[in-house]
Structure 1
Amino acid sequence: MNGNEKITVVINTYNAERHLNACLEAVKDFDEVLICDMESTDRTLDIAHSHGCKVVTFPKGEHRIVEPARQFAIDRAENPWVLVVDADEIVPCALRHYLYEAIQKPTGFAAIAIPRKNYFMGRMMHSSYPDYVLRFLKREHCHWPPVIHASPEVNGRVIKIPSARQDLAFEHLANDTVADIIAKNNTYSDYEVPRRRKKNHGIMALLCRPAFRFFKSYFLKRGCLDGLPGLIHAVLDAGYQFAIVAKLIEERQEKRHSS
């Protein structure tokens, strides 16, 4: 379909029943839809099978993040191009048409970064747009590191969809609550600690990193246009940075006391 070049949609899942029907309905017209499930215990697999998806399993084990399963899933796609979609994201029809048109032309790119609309307290956040995610890839030219928040490593030219093209942006349905964000910040900051152990963060980082993140989110990225939700979101962003630095300092203090 859609010319000689074909696309596989890859969706990593774990207990993703909440938005999966809507997600799969939006990608049904791609050449292949592959679900890589991390041993879900809810209705995720039933929903996937009802949509006729190809399903593979990645053992969850002790993993609390999706990145270790990304490359595993991509390697099992049948087609040369892959569109990696989260189970709480919607792919607009306009984006599907754009991607198929792009790969029929001799443009020489290996990946496309796609903007994403994020929501909080029921509204799209200016401070979180365009939130580019590198998700459309030539399979043989990419590698996805098994590290939290990692982007794929691409051997080739990467292009971006212009941020003004909001009609081509992923719709992120998560609309996380304050409690959701705090819980995620706690999990994600745990994974950030090993990555930053070589940085000798102290009291200045404890104060300055959260302050800069707040300034960036609320002013530079125009969170101030989002009213009270924008203010709350900026404070939560700052709290994430505070948690990372505080955990690094705590770890260092514990080592000193134990020695």
Structure 2
Amino acid sequence: MNGTQHISVVINTYNAEEHLKAVLEAVKDFDEIVICDMESTDQTLDIARSYNCKIVTFPKGNLRIVEPARQFAIDKASSPWVLVVDADEVVTPELRKYLYDAIQKDDCPDAIAIPRKNYFMGRMMHSSYPDYILRFLRRSKCSWPPVIHAAPKVDGNILKIPASRMELAFEHLANDSVADIIRKNNTYSDYEVPRRRKKNYGCMALIYRPAFRFFKSYFLKRGCRDGIPGLIHAVLDAGYQFAIVAKLLEEKQAKQG
């Protein structure tokens, strides 16, 4: 359908039944869909089979993050191009057409960063847009580190879709509650601690890092336009930074004691 160029959609899953049907419906016209499942116990695999997805398994073990399974999933794709989609992200028809048009051109970049629309308390958050994520990749030119929040490493050119092209943005279906965000912040901050040990934060970091994150989210990134949800989201962003620094200081105190 698209000449000699093909795109595989790669989706990592773990108990992803809530949004998976909508996600798969949006990508069913790509050349291949690879589901890399981390031993789901819900209806995830039944839904994937109903869409004739290629299913591979990555042992979950004690993992609470997806990054260790990213490269494994990409390696299982058969197309030269991969679009990595989370199990709660919808690809618009406009984005699909844009990507297929791009790979037909001789000057196509080796990776494309795609904006994403995020939602909280029922509304799109200005403070979280464009939230660029590097997800469209020439498979032979990328590698994905197994580290939380890591972006793929690309040996080549990278293009960013303009933020003004909102019709090309991923639609993030997750509409996390305050409790969800607090829970995720706790999990993610655990994984951030080993990454930031060399920073050697002092006590003042408990104040200036959360304060700057709040300022960035609420003012610089226009969260103030989002009313009460924007204010709450900015405070939660600040709390994430506080948790990281507090855990680092806790670890330092334990070593000194």
Which residue of structure 1 aligns with residue 245 of structure 2? 245
TM-score (structure 1 length as normaliser): 0.99
Q: Equivalents in 1 of 2:222, 2:203: separation in Å?
A: 28
Range that drifts further, 22-31 or 102-111: 102-111
Which segments of 5 or more consecutive residues in structure 1 lack a partner in the other structure?
none
Give the structure 2 partner of residue 181 of structure 1: 181
**How far 1:108 moved relative to its partner?**
4.1
Q: Paired residue for 1:92?
A: 92
Residue identity over aligned pairs, in percent, reads 77
1:2 and 1:121 map into 2 onto residues whose CA distance is 39
The answer (yes or no) to whether the contact 2:126–2:221 under 8 Å persists in 1 is yes
Q: Which residue in the other structure is 1:63 paired with? A: 63
- Aligned residue number for residue 165 of structure 2: 165
Is the 8 Å Cα contact of residues 102 and 108 (structure 2) preserved in structure 1?
Answer: no
Supply the distance in 2 between the matched residues of 1:32 and 1:100 (Cα, whole angstroms).
Answer: 13
CA displacement at 1:226 relative to structure 2: 0.2
CA distance in 2, matches of 1:99, 1:120: 28
Alignment of 1:1-259 (within 5 A): 1-257=1-257
What is the CA-CA distance between 1:256 and the residue it aligns to? Answer: 1.0
Letter matched to residue 193 of structure 1: V
Backbone CA RMSD of aligned residues: 0.5
SS at structure 2 position matched to 1:109: coil
- Distance in structure 2 (CA, Å) of the matches to 1:60 and 1:50: 23
Instruction: Report how far residue 202 of structure 1 moved.
Output: 1.1
Question: TM-score when scaled to structure 2?
Answer: 0.99
CA distance in 2, matches of 1:233, 1:86: 22
Once the two structures are TM-superposed, the CA of residue 13 in structure 1 deviates from its matched residue by 0.1
Question: Helix, strand or coil for the counterpart of 2:36?
Answer: strand
Q: Secondary structure at the match of 1:163?
A: coil
Deviation of the 1:209 alpha carbon: 0.2
| Cα deviation 1:25-83 (Å, max 9, x = unaligned) | 00000000000000000000000001110000000011110000000000010000000
Q: Which moved more, 1:74-83 or 1:100-109?
A: 100-109
Aligned residues: 257
How many Å separate the matches in 2 of 1:61 and 1:38? Answer: 9
Structure 2 Cα separation of the partners of residues 3 and 177 of structure 1? 44
Segments of 4+ moved more than 2 angstroms: none
Alignment gaps of 5+ in structure 2: none
- Whichever residue aligns with residue 23 of structure 1, its letter is V
> Aligned partners of 1:4 and 1:133: how far apart in 2?
26
Q: Deviations over 1:183-202 (max 9, x none)?
A: 00000000000011111111
